[in-house]
Structure 1
Amino acid sequence: MSYRTKSYRQFIATAAAATLITVALSPISNAATPEFTDVSKRYKEAIDYVVSKGAKGITNTSFGTQKFITRADAAILLSNVLELNTEHAPNSGFTDVPARAVQAVNALKAIGVTAGKTATSFDPNSPITRGELAIWIQKGFELTGKTNLNFTDVSERYQTAIETLISNKISEGTSKTSFGTTKLATRGDFSIFLQKSASVTGLDDEDYKLSLMHTNDTHSHVELVAKRATTINEVRVRKSEPLLIDAGDVMTGTLYFNEFQGKAELKFMNDIGYDVMTFGNHEFDQGSSNEGHQWLVDFIKEAKFPFVSANVDFSSDKLFDGLQEIGTYSDNPEDGKIYNGIIKEVNGEKVGIFGLTTAETVEISSPKDISFKNYIEEAKNSVKAFKELGINKIVAVTHLGYNDNIEFDNDLELAKQVDGIDVIIGGHSHTLLEKPTVVSEGKAEPTIIVQTGEYNNYVGTLDVKFDKNGKVIGQAGKLLSVKERAEDPTTAIALKPYADKIAEIQAESIGVTAVEPLNGARNSVRTSETNLGNLITDGMLSTAKTINPDTVIAMTNGGGIRESIDAGDITIGEVLTVMPFGNTLGIMNLKGSEIIDALEHSVSQAPEASGGFLHVSGMTFKYDSSKKAGNRVVEVNIKGEDGKLSPLQNDESYIVATNIFTAKGGDGFDTFAKAYADGRVSEPGFTDYQMFINYLKTFETVDPKVEGRIIDVSAAK
């Protein structure tokens, strides 16, 4: 379904200072008021403007300047001025709207301007008050502003809207102490409100504007997709040909992926109508499985949109044969194909879009035969390719991280080092950028960076204004809360079979009770010992001992623990949400010195969060985060069969359990990768969540504690 409007309607902020631009309204060359005999000088400019937007008089000779305006007429006029996409706005549900106003009312409800009088009544024929119009205009034009009011007739309901109109000099009160909130609005006054609002927001500005919607790191949170659909449709009613872009990590993180292997995520991306996507590291999580990347191949082939990836080379994996157009920047991309970049025509101008994925994927996922090129070099190549094609509006869709590990890649560094990128739509670091970041220092042209956080909580919007040479001269971006929206009915119906299956899985108890909440919060498990990390590693050690009784230590990366478990009955659904990746057990034979190397890597970024932070069982260790990375571990002790601790010996060999992801070097554990390459790792095949469930079932209740297995002596001081 197409959601296209006639022109751009969002105010723009300057790229350098992110402050509002006020643009004078262009004069109307074909004034239409001479036929009207009731239009005084005060109203002439405003009524000229609204007539140019489709307003009509009440007769051929009278505009009805002093007549009260009905709710239906006000809706039509506001919708016309905003140039909303009325044709495709969802049905409002109101049963009393006359045919002439149905589309306008549908659109105004879709963008949150009005909720009607009741769920089924709009009350179209009643005159509208000045207070109600203030709300409509403030919401319709998305105006902001504050001022002190001296009016005595402004209740809390109208406070924000009237403050906004007064601060933007769109309206005045009917007296020094009264706004006239409950007075009926006239057609002339409403015309002034509309003309001044259009002037303040630069509605008729003729510079080229590009509207983008973006998501990232949704991680299979399909439960919110009906609300996401509403959010996106709302933008499509407002904006002119907005592109919808995803910056990767669509997959893994909830039961929806465990159960449906990407099919649920893809269905709704297709239904909602994404324009393009790049790959996140988690799109490669199953490369080491028996089927390899088959599920990703199926996802790509069935997508109703293309993929962009300038620095990922799929050519060594035969499963992707025929899917990647290497080195191609296509102006006619096919759905279900991978390109370096694509070219989209938006509002009559061409926009280049290319993709990048973090090279850290090799360490934090399982890409196997898929390789990653230098992101800076490939970004420069992409910009050059677009420029040679005459394209000067360029968007990078990246899964690099906003300010992630500079050893690999991040968006800030990309913006600094590569000229010619106008917008970076980012992901990977789960950064919640409430306002866009503008990188301009030392650059010929500014670069705008946006990112929406994580887990489908927000849809980002970005409006960018360009001069005739393709240089960014203005921007306005914000995040729209998905959870605050109502569910799109059609999407909700389509979601129900998936949701019902997930609810069935979630509800199945494993017959064990948690006395206290088990802490798997992202910022906890990536920085410190937690009771859940202890319980998981205890379970790994217990299982490993049944295979190799000499196993004395278990370790697992904090990045593999994705959620907490509430106190009370523990369900299968909760466990699968904590461990969504299906990692299997690996048993390593390591020297004590290698264990210390791994622990040094584990705490190398402390106190900053790291997915490689190790939780442990069968041992304790202390480190000092104030010391230089690589020299932080100050004490390591191994727990014997008698429960007593004894110092780790560098030259002694130890049998260590972990998950196969880290055993192969995931999260940067090069020491483990060397042991794997040396053949010192066995793979008995036990899946992490099943091991954990089996271990939990040996108890009726669990009450693990944080017991000093991992101590930062610097923090302790």
Structure 2
Amino acid sequence: MKKFRILAWLLVLMMVLAGCGTAAGSSSAGDIVILYTNDAHCGIEDGLGYAGLAAVKNSLTATGSSVLLVDNGDAIQGDTIGTLSKGAYIIEIMNKLGYDVATPGNHEFDYGMEQFLALTEAADFDYVSANFVDADGNPVLKPYVIKEVNGTKIAFVGISTPKTITSSTPTYFQNDAGEYIYGFMQDETGEKLYAAVQSAVDAARGEGAKYVIAMAHLGIEADCSPWTSSEVIVNTSGIDAVLDGHSHSVIPGDMVKNKEGKEVLLTSTGTKLANIGCLTIAPDGTITAALINDGGVGETLATIKAGYEEMVNTVVASTKVPLCIYDPADTSIRLVRRQETNLGDLCADAYRAMSGAEIAFVNGGGIRVDIPAGDITYGQIIAVHPFGNEMCVIEATGQQILDALELGAMNTPGESGGFLQVSGLTYEIDLSVPSSVQQDENKMFTGVAGDYRVKNVMVGEEPLDLTRTYTLASHNYMLKSAGDGYAMFQGCKLLQDSVMIDNQVLINYIVDVLGGVVGEEYSDPYGQGRITVLEG
């Protein structure tokens, strides 16, 4: 059996290297190969896995290729190993792998600014970002680094999504007075971002860089505009290739014309190491990309994993029904970010029951994985709520609650991490009404310009009273820090503060209220009819 496994791995590795060579120009001693990852989200054993990545890197090096390894953000958050160590275990693994450069994604900041900066010190590689600045507009990190390979200078320019302000915890970027002391060159037109990137590219070229590779955590989705990777390409010049992240998109290699009409390669690997990117610069200057996949695990991962495996495998409850964030009819759709699901109902019910509030909200982006029917482990609960947010209760008016629902529904039927799963109320979303939600340059809610698409909001048996005050439970990310742009709750009276972390709220509800078993009342994956989406 052991011999078979070794042979199987060798066959996989041969296919991986053949795939990189075929699409990227037959990797040879004269080639410069850049392996790239994005949105790994602690997926240490998913897809190829970090051990498989190490094997690919070592094998390419053995062929005589010069190999660099870079990451385009969201590596340190997304599963138990990240949550328990606040990202430190992932940095340890990345150091072991020999990463050369990384760009911070929005989730690199999920453990707070102090922890992020500590992790950059612990890293044996450079974090770069041309648009992550302090209050005076000075770069917090190096805008770029130049790596010289066989006499050829290659610049790596970092670009972090300006959505970081709202998709991480906004207070992490503020001082005690609530003033922003960090930013990402965000404005409504995108011009500040484009200028920051162009300045870094020009500086790198001025230092003699023959090639400029943009390491972006920007994404391609409409709600990322005007800061998408394509928009950055169109509004800049001098970039040879963009390695992108944030949208979890699989882009083997698209060509996008820059502001001078020259084609720039755009590529992205997806998420959870389902693919590893392989960018090849041939001796004649040709740049090509390929995505490779499949692999195994390694000794470094096993050593780290042994330290926490027993705890995360502890059974804390059970469920008679599958609990969903993905659409059972199409598992590529993250349903929890666009409509009601049974796991969304369960999480919101947990907040309402454990706090005693009249209403509870949970943002869909904070509910991360399905739970299959059967035993529920502590690790699964942490994977559902990996951020360590803390339950809070405020007093909010009916108008503020309506505004929050409207903000959450602004992208429906498209995805939004801020889409609200609810308990204690029901509502309708009328898609025939276009969203007129207004946001400032930081994507913070400022108002609604036209008709509301959220209608018929009922609290229990009574219509929502816009002038009445209600008790509302959620977490500090939304209620205190205006996460996902929920600025309407700033200044609300705080009744309960940081009562317990989000995953403990869910465990306590299932164990103490449901008797340790999630039952048939949550059987419908599409929920209990709390949110009705009316087609336009």
One fold, TM greater than 0.5?
yes
Match of 1:514 in 2: 319
Q: Of 516, 529, 532, which residue of structure 2 is paired with 1:711?
A: 532
CA separation in 2, counterparts of 1:684 and 1:553? 17
Per-residue deviation, residues 28-58 of structure 1 (Å, max 9, x unmatched): xxxxxxxxxxxxxxxxxxxxxxxxxxxxxxx
Whether the 8 Å contact between 1:520 and 1:578 is mirrored in structure 2 is no
Distance 1:259 1:203 in 2: 39
Matched ranges for 1:321-332 at <5 A:
none
Whole-angstrom distance in 2 between the partners of 1:407 and 1:680 = 34
Q: Higher RCO, 1 or 2 (CA under 8 Å, sep at least 6)?
A: 2
What is the CA distance between 1:580 and its match in structure 2? 0.4
Residues 1:416 and 1:655: Cα distance change in structure 2 (over 3 Å): same
Question: 1:348 is matched by which residue type in structure 2?
Answer: G
Question: Is contact 1:400–1:426 with CA below 8 Å preserved after alignment?
Answer: yes
Q: Is the 8 A contact 1:584 1:659 kept in 2?
A: yes
| Cα deviation digits, residues 418-466 of structure 1 (max 9, x gap) | 1111111111111111x21110276342211111111122211112458
Within 1, Cα distance between the matches of 2:363 and 2:465?
A: 23
**1:532–1:397 Cα change, 3 Å:** same
**2:483 pairs with 1:657:** no
Hey, what does 1:364 align to over in structure 2?
167
Letter in 2 for 1:535: L
- Does the residue aligned with 1:582 lie in a helix, a strand or coil? coil
Task: Find the counterpart in structure 2 of residue 40 from structure 1.
Answer: none
Q: 2: distance between equivalents of 1:201 and 1:459?
A: 17
Q: Deviation of residue 383 (structure 1)?
A: 1.6
What is the CA-CA distance between 1:702 and the residue it aligns to?
1.1
AA aligned to 2:474 is T
Structure 1 residue aligned with 2:126:
306
Give the structure 2 partner of residue 693 of structure 1. Answer: 507
Q: For residue 606 of structure 1, what is the aligned residue in structure 2?
A: 412
Q: Give the superposition deviation at 1:286.
A: 2.3
After superposition, residues 146-157 of structure 1 pair within 5 angstroms as none
Is contact 2:36–2:72 with CA below 8 Å preserved after alignment? Answer: yes
Give the deviation of 1:201 after TM superposition: 6.1
CA–CA separation in structure 2 for the residues paired with 1:353 and 1:712: 44
- Per the alignment, residue 413 of structure 1 pairs with 231
| Equivalent residue number for residue 504 of structure 1 | 310
1:244 corresponds to which of 69, 88, 94: 69
Residues 1:253 and 1:628: Cα distance change in structure 2 (over 3 Å): same
Distance 1:569 1:201 in 2: 48
Alpha-carbon contact 2:51-2:295 (below 8 Å) kept = no
Aligned residue for 2:307, secondary structure, equals helix
Question: Identity of paired residues, percent?
Answer: 30
Measure, in 1, the Cα distance between the counterparts of 2:350 and 2:19: 56
> 1:348 corresponds to which residue?
151
Contact 2:319 2:376 in 1 (8 A): yes
Runs of 4+ in 1 over 4 A off after TM superposition: 108-111, 138-144, 200-205, 678-682
Query: Contact (CA 8 Å) 1:360, 1:408: kept in 2 or not?
Result: no
- Alignment partners' CA distance in 2, 1:514 and 1:554: 22
Distance 2:132 2:342 in 1: 38
Gapped regions of structure 1 (runs ≥ 5): 1-92, 95-104, 115-137, 145-199, 288-292, 317-323, 328-336, 546-550, 640-644
- 2:235–2:259 contact (8 Å) kept in structure 1: no
Q: 1:540 to 1:110 in 2, by over 3 A?
A: closer
Distance 2:363 2:19 in 1: 48
Q: Distance in 2 between matches of 1:460 and 1:602?
A: 34
Mapped to 2, the partners of 1:140 and 1:480 lie a distance apart of 6
Contact persistence 2:277–2:292 (CA under 8 A)? yes
Among 197, 200, 208, the alignment partner of 1:382 is 200
Deviations 1:340-359 (A, max 9, x none): 11111123211111111111
Measured after TM superposition, the shift of residue 314 of structure 1 is: 4.9
The answer to whether the 8 A contact 2:392-2:494 is kept is: no
> 1:178 is matched with which residue?
none
Q: 1:626 to 1:233 in 2, by over 3 A?
A: farther
Between the aligned partners of 1:502 and 1:263, the Cα distance in structure 2 is: 14
Deviation at 1:387, TM superposition (A): 2.6
Mapped partners of 1:589, 1:694: distance in 2: 23
Are 1:254 and 2:79 counterparts? yes
Structure 2 residue 447 is matched with structure 1 residue 638: no
Alignment partner of 1:530 is 2:350: no
Taking a change above 3 Å as real, the CA distance of residues 408 and 687 of structure 1, as seen in their structure-2 partners, is farther
| Cα distance in structure 2, aligned partners of 1:202 and 1:503 | 41
Please report how far the alpha carbon of residue 694 of structure 1 lies from its aligned counterpart in structure 2 after TM superposition: 0.7
Give the deviation of 1:298 after TM superposition.
2.6
Shift of 1:339: 1.0
1:203 to partner: Cα distance: 8.1
2:94 is the counterpart of 1:277 = no
Amino acid at match of 1:227: G
Per-residue deviation at 1:315? 7.2
> What displacement does 1:578 show?
0.5
Q: Normalised by the size of structure 2, how large is the TM-score?
A: 0.83
Shift of 1:486: 3.7
Q: Does 1:540 align with 2:357?
A: no
Question: Structure 1's 271 and 591: CA in aligned 2 closer, same or farther, altered over 3 A?
Answer: same
Deviations 1:69-100 (A, max 9, x none): xxxxxxxxxxxxxxxxxxxxxxxx99xxxxxx
Q: Contact 1:211/1:239 (CA < 8 Å) preserved in 2?
A: no
CA contact (8 A) 2:319 2:374 kept: yes
Write 1 or 2 for the structure with the bigger share of strand: 2
- Residues 202 and 656 of structure 1: is their aligned pair in 2 closer, same or farther, counting only changes over 3 Å? closer
* SS in structure 2 of the partner of residue 477 of structure 1: strand
Partner secondary structure for residue 473 of structure 2: strand
Distance 2:116 2:20 in 1: 42
Corresponding residue number in structure 2 for 1:454: 271
TM-score, with structure 1 as normaliser: 0.63
- 1:81 matched residue in structure 2: none
Equivalent residue of 2:467, what SS?
coil
CA distance in 1, matches of 2:398, 2:508: 30
1:280 shift after superposition: 0.9
- Segment of structure 1 superposing worse, 298-307 or 492-501: 492-501
SS in 2 for 1:242: strand
* Residue 50 of structure 2 is aligned to residue 112 of structure 1: no
In 1: Cα distance, 2:418 partner to 2:283 partner:
42
Change (3 A) 1:111 1:225: closer
Are 1:234 and 2:59 matched, yes or no?
yes
**Alpha-carbon distance in structure 1 between the residues aligned to 2:307 and 2:465:** 51
Q: Measure the CA separation in 2 of the matches of 1:608 and 1:362.
A: 21
Q: CA deviation at 1:610?
A: 0.8
- Matched residue SS, 1:609: coil
Mark the CA change 1:456 to 1:446 in structure 2 (over 3 Å): closer, same or farther. same
Deviation at 1:240, TM superposition (A): 2.2
Structure 2 CA distance, aligned partners of 1:601 and 1:242? 45
The whole-number CA distance in structure 2 between the counterparts of 1:253 and 1:394 is: 30
| 2:443 corresponds to | none
Among 228, 238, 241, the residue aligned to 1:423 = 241
1:301/1:569 Cα in 2 relative to 1: closer, same or farther (>3 Å)?
Answer: same
One-letter amino acid of the structure 1 residue matched with residue 375 of structure 2: D
Q: Secondary structure at the match of 2:69?
A: strand
Q: In structure 2, do the counterparts of structure 1 residues 351 and 681 end up closer, same or farther at CA, with 3 Å as the change threshold?
A: farther
Which residue does 1:597 correspond to in 2? 403
How far, CA to CA, are the matches of 1:568 and 1:372 in structure 2?
44
What is the 5 A alignment of 1:80-119? 111-112=13-14
In structure 2, the CA distance between the partners of 1:607 and 1:377, relative to structure 1 (3 Å rule), is same
Change (3 A) 1:201 1:286: closer
Counterpart residue identity of residue 163, structure 2: E
**Residues 251 and 578 from structure 1, CA distance in 2 versus in 1: closer, same or farther, beyond 3 angstroms?**
same
| Secondary structure of the structure 2 residue equivalent to 1:339 | coil
Residues 113 and 296 (structure 1), Cα distance of their counterparts in 2 relative to 1, 3 Å cut? closer
Q: Which amino acid aligns with 1:308?
A: V
Corresponding residue SS for 2:173: coil
Consecutive unaligned residues in structure 2, runs of 5 or more: 175-181, 186-191, 327-332, 437-451
Count, aligned residues: 485
